[in-house]
């Protein structure tokens, strides 16, 4: 969608300050995928994560131990050679996981009750208050990436770096909608991402209200020259979002001049909920915006009484050429299999309204918190724990797609891809996609979260940004939490820090950290199909 351009490390399009950042700021260590064992050993001896007494001795013993391990241990599971190697039985794996119970308790204690209590919340508040909303292609998003690049370095994480990508750049400009008949009424709207503008004087037309695409097709004759208003019921986001995505295309096909779409939301205080939409090249592009549930229902009532409705829609929306942006990356490099990756993530971009605190500030900041907690406990997992803060998710997973294209050659080294992008409210468990064997292992890992009673496993562990990997068979996990209020605020002016709760974020961070750490530290990668 939108910006699915090839990854180019061109220099002409990204701004000079960013060039300075990537050319001078990248820390001395090579990205984990390229780290050799030698580099790893040198760093371990100097590393700020290992200052305890006797560490050196333990370290030498560890090296000796590693030396005697079967050669294939920890190798990517997709290689044929693994068939000839010893693999742990499920009983052994169960025992191994149970052995992490003290570490899990330490993580929970630090995140929920200890020094790190409320840290991810406070970091997020400082960030969203300073930067505000961060739409793909905007100056704010560029500032947000610079901000994260510097705070991740200040947090002493490793391999902090930016990976350039090209992203869509759309701006809404001024916009308004006014009902002229049967009475004057100001309709609150938010233009949909990638919408075209109206002429400067606006579009004034009669309204046709429909409740479904079926009804629109049946009344196709009536739609010509009209503004189509969709008043579809909210069933679920997944089910109902098609009206936002395709409403303008379907209305354009039957000759409508604009479309206004009831916000895809479970609750409303006259709030429009924006989002991206898609045109088709063979269908006329008509301006499109979302309206509140209240206005959609009112126009539906008026029209069912046979009342003629006339609306003037004005939108300045404009699409600019794709622009330079970055996925932001930081790591804790693995001690034993540094080339193998456990990826934790959230997206840094947001809509251009509210503060993007919930979508997806919370997910991005609990993912950072996972690395911080592990570092603070002096832990270093066997595999590399990699934080990725995606850019341009809202424009269709654009940053994540280019990341996948760049790194998919290394897919056998990706142990699991994790993204939190469905809120950081009260956690309930983990959604997971992967083999039955991997699911059984995850179930055991979730038992480590008994102390905070978050042990459930659900289906569908892929999110927009991790789906590329999950489709190719990499196990995927996403955080599951109480989303009963998520679609109250989603893509609205109401998505602010006020929605977030520090205690819930502590619990989410604990879940995210225990799961990612244990998977990164277990002797074997998760089995694939």
Report the catalytic residues. 393
Residue of the chain from 295, 360, 481, 495 that contacts Zn ion (CB under 5 A): 360
Nearer to Zn ion, 136 or 402 (CB): 136
Q: What is the tally of helices (H) and strands (E) in the chain?
A: 18, 16
Minimal distance, residue 361 CB to Zn ion, in Å: 10
Nearer to Zn ion, 175 or 360 (CB): 360
Neighbours of 100 (CB within 10 A): 20
CA dihedral sign of residues 19, 24, 26, 30: positive
Q: What is the distance between the alpha carbons of residues 361 and 130, in angstroms, rounded to a whole number?
A: 13
Which region among 38-46, 181-189, 351-359, 405-413 touches Zn ion (by CB under 5 A)? 351-359
Are the CB atoms for 12 and 147 separated by under 8 Å? no
Nearer to Zn ion, 187 or 430 (CB): 430
Under rule CB under 5 A, residue 463 binds Zn ion: no
Nearer to Zn ion, 322 or 359 (CB): 359
Per DSSP bridges, beta strands 288-291 and 189-191 are: antiparallel
Task: Using alpha carbons, select from 259, 195, 252 the residue that is nearest to residue 220.
Answer: 252
Which region among 139-147, 205-213, 294-302, 358-366 touches Zn ion (by CB under 5 A)? 358-366
Nearer to Zn ion, 250 or 360 (CB): 360
Q: What is the distance between the alpha carbons of residues 463 and 417, in angstroms, rounded to a whole number?
A: 10
Minimal distance, residue 323 CB to Zn ion, in Å: 20
Minimal distance, residue 189 CB to Zn ion, in Å: 21
Which region among 22-30, 146-154, 278-286, 357-365 touches Zn ion (by CB under 5 A)? 357-365
Task: Using alpha carbons, select from 33, 14, 25, 27 the residue that is nearest to residue 409.
Answer: 33
Under rule CB under 5 A, residue 359 binds Zn ion: yes
Minimal distance, residue 351 CB to Zn ion, in Å: 9
Minimal distance, residue 297 CB to Zn ion, in Å: 27
Nearer to Zn ion, 7 or 237 (CB): 237
- Contact pattern for Zn ion over residues 372 through 411, marking x by CB under 5 A: ----------------------------------------
Residue 259: half-sphere exposure toward Cβ, Cα within 13 Å: 36
Tokens representing 87? 């693999």
Residue 33: half-sphere exposure toward Cβ, Cα within 13 Å: 16
Which region among 200-208, 214-222, 384-392, 421-429 touches Zn ion (by CB under 5 A)? 421-429
**DSSP letters for 84-110:** GS----HHHHHHHHHTTHHHHHHHHII
Under rule CB under 5 A, residue 467 binds Zn ion: no
What is the three-state SS of 161-227?
Answer: EEEEEEEEEEECCCEEEEEEECCCEEECEEECECCCCCCCCCEEEEEEEECCHHHHHHCHHHHCCCE
Are the CB atoms for 120 and 501 separated by under 8 Å? no
Minimal distance, residue 360 CB to Zn ion, in Å: 4
Nearer to Zn ion, 163 or 360 (CB): 360
Nearer to Zn ion, 340 or 422 (CB): 422
Residues of this chain, 431-450, that bind Zn ion according to CB under 5 A: none
Per DSSP bridges, beta strands 383-390 and 318-332 are: antiparallel
Which region among 125-133, 240-248, 270-278, 353-361 touches Zn ion (by CB under 5 A)? 353-361
Terminus-to-terminus CA distance in the chain, angstroms?
A: 29
Residue of the chain from 421, 467, 495, 524 that contacts Zn ion (CB under 5 A): 421
Which residue is listed with tokens 């998505």?
Answer: 495
Minimal distance, residue 359 CB to Zn ion, in Å: 4
- Contact pattern for Zn ion over residues 306 through 345, marking x by CB under 5 A: ----------------------------------------
Minimal distance, residue 488 CB to Zn ion, in Å: 15
Task: Using alpha carbons, select from 501, 490, 496 the residue that is nearest to residue 266.
Answer: 490
Are the CB atoms for 182 and 309 separated by under 8 Å? yes
Are the CB atoms for 169 and 137 separated by under 8 Å? yes
Q: What is the distance between the alpha carbons of residues 432 and 140, in angstroms, rounded to a whole number?
A: 33
Nearer to Zn ion, 175 or 463 (CB): 463
Residues of this chain, 253-282, that bind Zn ion according to CB under 5 A: none
CA dihedral sign of residues 100, 106, 109, 111: negative
Q: What is the distance between the alpha carbons of residues 508 and 62, in angstroms, rounded to a whole number?
A: 33
Strand order in the sheet with 310-315: 185-187, 175-181, 310-315, 203-210, 227-230, 258-262, 288-291, 189-191
Minimal distance, residue 392 CB to Zn ion, in Å: 11
Nearer to Zn ion, 43 or 276 (CB): 276
Size of residue set near Zn ion by CB under 5 A: 3
Interface residues with Zn ion (CB under 5 A) are: 359-360, 421
């Amino acid at each position: 969608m939108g910006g699915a351009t090839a990854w180019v490390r061109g220099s002409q399009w990204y701004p000079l300050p960013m060039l300075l950042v990537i050319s001078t700021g990248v820390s001395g260590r090579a990205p984990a995928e390229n780290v050799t064992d030698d580099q790893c050993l040198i760093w371990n001896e100097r590393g700020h994560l290992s200052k305890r007494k006797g560490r050196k001795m333990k370290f030498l013993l560890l090296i000796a131990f590693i030396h005697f391990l079967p050669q294939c241990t920890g190798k990517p599971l997709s290689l044929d050679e693994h068939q000839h190697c010893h693999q742990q039985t499920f009983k052994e794996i169960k025992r191994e996981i149970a052995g992490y119970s003290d570490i899990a308790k330490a993580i929970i204690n630090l995140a929920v009750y200890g020094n790190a209590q409320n840290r991810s919340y406070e970091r997020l508040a400082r960030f969203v208050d300073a930067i505000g909303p961060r739409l793909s292609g905007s100056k704010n998003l560029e500032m947000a990436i610079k901000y994260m690049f510097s705070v991740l370095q200040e947090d002493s994480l490793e391999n902090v770096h930016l990976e350039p990508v090209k992203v869509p750049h759309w701006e809404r400009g001024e916009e308004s909608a006014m009902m002229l008949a049967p009475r004057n009424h100001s309709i609150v709207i938010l233009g949909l991402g990638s919408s075209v503008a109206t002429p400067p004087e606006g579009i004034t037309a009669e309204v046709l209200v429909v409740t479904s695409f079926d009804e629109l097709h049946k009344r196709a004759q009536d739609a010509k020259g009209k503004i189509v208003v969709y008043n579809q019921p909210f069933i679920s986001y997944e089910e109902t979002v098609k009206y936002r995505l395709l409403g303008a295309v379907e209305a354009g096909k039957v000759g409508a001049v604009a479309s206004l779409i009831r916000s895809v939301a479970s609750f409303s205080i006259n709030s429009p909920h924006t989002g991206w939409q898609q045109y088709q090249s063979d269908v006329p592009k008509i301006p499109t915006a979302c309206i509140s549930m209240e206005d959609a229902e009112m126009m539906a009532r008026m029209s069912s009484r046979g009342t003629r409705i006339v609306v003037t829609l004005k939108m300045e929306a404009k699409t600019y050429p794709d622009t330079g942006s970055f996925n932001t990356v930081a790591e804790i490099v693995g001690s034993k299999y540094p080339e193998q990756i456990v990826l934790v993530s959230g997206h840094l971009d947001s809509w251009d309204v509210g503060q993007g605190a919930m979508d997806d500030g919370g997910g991005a900041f609990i993912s950072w918190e996972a690395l911080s907690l592990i570092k603070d406990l002096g832990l270093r997992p066997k595999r590399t724990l990699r934080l990725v803060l995606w850019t341009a998710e809202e424009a269709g997973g654009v940053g994540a797609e280019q990341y996948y294209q760049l790194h998919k050659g290394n897919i056998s080294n990706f142990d699991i891809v994790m993204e939190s992008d469905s809120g950081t409210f009260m956690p309930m468990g983990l959604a997971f996609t992967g083999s039955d064997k991997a699911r059984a292992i995850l179930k055991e890992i979730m038992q480590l979260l008994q102390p905070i009673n978050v042990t459930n496993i659900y289906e569908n562990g892929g999110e927009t940004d991790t789906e590329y990997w999950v489709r190719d068979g990499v196990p995927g996990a996403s955080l599951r939490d109480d989303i009963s209020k998520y679609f109250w605020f989603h893509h609205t002016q109401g998505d602010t820090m006020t929605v977030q709760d520090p205690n819930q974020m502590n619990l989410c961070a604990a879940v995210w950290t225990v799961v990612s750490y244990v998977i990164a530290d277990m002797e074997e990668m998760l089995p694939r199909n």
